[in-house]
Amino acid sequence: MATPAGIQTIEEIEPFEAAEEIEGGDVVLVDTREPHEYQEAHLENGKLVPPGLLGDQIAEAAPDKSARTILYCRSGNRSAIAAAQLQALGYDNVASMAGGILAWQEQGLPVVAASGMTAEQRDRYSRHTLLPEVGVDGQLKLLNAKVLLLGAGGLGAPTALYLAAAGVGTIGLVDDDVVDASNLQRQVIHNTERIGMPKTTSARIFIEQLNPDVNVVEHNGRLDASNILDVMADYDIVVDGADNFPTRYLLNDASVRLRKPVVSASILGFDGQISTFAPYEGPCYRCLYPTPPPAELAPSCSANGVLGVMAGTMGTLQANEVIKLVLGAGQPLIGRLLLYDALGTTFTELKVRRDPDCPICGENAPEIPESEMGQFPDYDQFCAGAGGDR
Amino acid sequence: MATVRIPPVLRPKTGGQSEVAAAGENVGEVLQALTAEHPDTRAQLFGEDGDLNRYVNVYLNDEDVRVLSGLETAVKDGDTVVILPAMAGGAS
């Protein structure tokens, strides 16, 4: 291919030659296009240095002027110009890839593509995709993730808000309550106009206004032994913000059977707890709490009060855990219980271990035959007098 | 002296204190010292047999005493004993 007028001395290589060199290693690969082009598709390990910023950014992308440096752009023109500029800067082993990424792709060579993301999505999630821990791949994982929120109230509201903003593709909401004025001090996805509306519907309206990418599934009812496996079947991760112990134990036992992780938090007054229960990888809820407390030790927020912002703090911590699980990034709270004391503004971390004698996930826990998967103990009886009614 | 951290549900039994200093060679003695000073906490921590109630988790610093030596676990000066009951607040 002809080089632009006035540039005679740069080395041009064909895409297959570039691919061989890249395969061999020790190559600095520089993408000389604009950020939006780069986001759409780029070569793996290609470092973005837009033409207008070459002078400012090339030293960071390619610190060694004697290293083999291959430049590419869309069709080969901008990279040829940039190659000449680099030579003038003292880079002595520079090549421009002829035909650019278009020729590369025509030859069937692989690119890192934002496939599945529209231009609007690339813009909306650009602060995510800039993060190495998320990137385009991570954002696509979020867009494909299916997360079930147990409760669209205190904890569920902030969790739903941030998961929806983050582009979690499917958010299921389980709640049988309607919006009440006394909810609005902390349940930030509902509002005054929607008092009296089912919480799942109010949440759906909020989420759809925030982010049309999210598919909201309303489960307007309560989870019980008869429906929990069917409801959970469609989701990857469950977020537990339930307000009663029978539901928490039911959810635990079902999640262990289905091997689905649960991000579990609770709040009361100025105190919060959060942990992530990943079946068989770490402890389950019963390993931590084998027995529910009696009623006098299990007060509810409705009877004892809760600082509104506590719901936000713990709910957003839940959202953070969910996003890490989806991305496979960082260290989730598996085997750790985090306590937050809002009055002292202190966090305390406690170790939680798998209980070998756990009746659900322990070594000697009985195998559940397929025919009995949907059969659960009587949790109301198990938790009798333990906050079993709201 | 060890510091015992009191969960919200027990604070009415400790005059509202969220931390109580208590002396003892082991976790059991520290909790006995707590119940001696705040007798109303006893019934919620210990069963009639004198063992910890199963629904009460007790940690020495960050470790569950169930995986240490239970109430016999030795306590050093400056250690923290955390009393942790399950909580279920969230949705409503």
Q: How far is CA A312 from CA A40, A189, A267, A301, in A?
A: 35, 11, 10, 15
DSSP code, position A67: S
Contacts with A341 from chain B: Cβ below 8 Å = 18
Question: Average pLDDT in the A21-39 region?
Answer: 90
Question: Average pLDDT in the A244-272 region?
Answer: 92
Pick the residue of A187, A300, A358 with the most B CBs within 10 A to test the interface with B by mutation.
A300
- Choose among B54, B67, B89: nearest Cβ to A243: B89
Q: Is B7 on the interface with A (CB under 8 A)?
A: yes
pLDDT of residue A114: 64
Residues 48-67 of B with CB under 8 A from A: 54-57, 59, 62-64, 67
Q: Is the pLDDT score of A388 beyond 60?
A: no
Contacts with A153 from chain B: Cβ below 8 Å = 90-92
Backbone phi and psi for residue B63, each to the nearest 5 degrees, phi listed first: -115, 135
- pLDDT tens digits along A111-153: 887 667 888 898 999 999 999 999 988 999 999 999 999 999 9
User: Across chain A, what does the average pLDDT equal?
Assistant: 90
pLDDT of residue A378: 81
Distance CA A43, CA A107 (A): 13
What is the helix (H) or strand (E) element at residue A302, kind and residue range? helix A301-304
- Per DSSP (E only), the strands in A87-182 are 94-97, 112-113, 146-150, 170-174
- pLDDT tens digits along A142-157: 999 999 999 999 999 9
Q: Which of A188, A180, A197 is nearest to A155 (CA)?
A: A188
- pLDDT tens digits along B60-88: 999 999 899 999 999 999 999 999 987 76
- pLDDT tens digits along A368-378: 777 777 788 88
- Choose among B44, B54, B91: nearest Cβ to A290: B54
pLDDT of residue A39: 77
pLDDT of residue B92: 43
Question: Average pLDDT in the A9-20 region?
Answer: 93
- Per DSSP (E only), the strands in A192-302 are 215-219, 237-240, 262-268, 271-277
CB A271 within 8 A of CB A265: no
- Say which amino acid occupies B30: V
Instruction: List strands edge to edge, sheet with A262-268.
Output: A215-219, A170-174, A146-150, A237-240, A262-268, A271-277, A336-341, A346-351
Q: Is the pLDDT score of A6 beyond 70?
A: no
**pLDDT class for A202, splitting at 50, 70, 90?**
very high
Residue of B nearest to A182 (CA): B92
How many beta-carbon pairs under 8 angstroms link A with B?
117
pLDDT of residue B49: 86
pLDDT of residue B8: 84
Its ipTM equals: 0.92
- pLDDT tens digits along A271-286: 999 999 999 999 999 9
pLDDT of residue A387: 40
pLDDT of residue A8: 57
DSSP code, position B56: E
- pLDDT tens digits along B8-27: 888 999 999 999 999 999 99
State both tokens at A213: 């990418």
Q: Is the pLDDT score of A243 beyond 90?
A: no
Q: Is the pLDDT score of A384 beyond 80?
A: no
**pLDDT class for B91, splitting at 50, 70, 90?**
very low
Q: Is the pLDDT score of A63 beyond 80?
A: yes
- Choose among B7, B56, B91: nearest Cβ to A243: B91
Active-site residue set of A: 301
Q: Do B87 and A273 touch (CB under 8 A)?
A: yes
pLDDT of residue A112: 80
CA distance A290 to chain B (A): 7
**pLDDT class for A14, splitting at 50, 70, 90?**
very high
CB A105 within 8 A of CB A131: no
Q: Is the pLDDT score of B90 beyond 60?
A: no
**pLDDT class for A245, splitting at 50, 70, 90?**
confident
Q: Is the pLDDT score of A389 beyond 50?
A: no
B66 or A296: which carries more pLDDT confidence?
B66
Question: Average pLDDT in the A293-321 region?
Answer: 85
